[in-house]
């Protein structure tokens, strides 16, 4: 997977979480997953990518991190991932993905995003949009999460 795909996703994630939530984001070691389903965490958001790149971006957050992100955003203590929390985490992923398309455009990739699909529940597995995905592990002071990037250039 090209750095021209990965760096805009990481930059958008770092920018949005810093601006919206005051969080610093650190990237861990990347790894490639091939011909396998991705196992998600408690709160999963999948956003399709179309245009110069086709595929999907899968954000996977623990319940604790999801609830803390929503608490920071809304000022409300939440004790479960309900419709409000699901909507909020979907919106965070949507904003990150939208910003990523702006950064991708700077590298001459004209892309659009598809409305998010939100799945809640432990150990859900997801088929990848392509035959491989790059797992981007990320760390913050409120928890760790992953972005699974499964994209390829359009033909």
pLDDT bracket for residue 128 (50, 70, 90)? low
Give pLDDT tens digits for 28-67.
999 888 766 677 789 999 999 999 999 999 999 999 999 9
SS (H, E, C) 22-82: CCCCEECCCEEEECCCEECCCEEEEEEEEECEEEEEEEEECHHHHHHHHHHHHCCCCCCCC
Q: What is the pLDDT of residues 86-115, one digit of tens each?
A: 999 999 999 999 999 999 999 899 999 999
Quote the pTM value. 0.92
Tell me what pLDDT residue 147 has: 95
Residue-level pLDDT at 88: 96
């Amino acid at each position: 997977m090209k750095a021209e795909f990965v760096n805009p996703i990481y930059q958008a994630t770092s920018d949005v979480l810093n601006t919206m939530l005051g969080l610093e984001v650190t990237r861990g070691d990347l790894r490639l997953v091939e011909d396998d389903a991705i196992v998600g965490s408690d709160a999963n958001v999948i956003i399709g990518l179309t245009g110069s790149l086709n595929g999907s971006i899968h954000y996977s957050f623990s319940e604790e991190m999801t609830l803390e992100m929503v608490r920071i955003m809304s000022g409300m203590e939440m004790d479960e991932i309900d419709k409000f929390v699901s909507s909020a985490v979907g919106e965070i992923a949507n904003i990150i993905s939208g910003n990523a398309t702006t950064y991708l455009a700077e590298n001459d990739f004209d892309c659009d995003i598809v409305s998010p699909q939100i799945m809640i529940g432990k150990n859900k597995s997801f088929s990848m949009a392509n035959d491989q995905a790059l797992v981007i592990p990320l760390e913050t002071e409120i928890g760790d999460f992953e972005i699974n990037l499964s994209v390829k250039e359009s033909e």
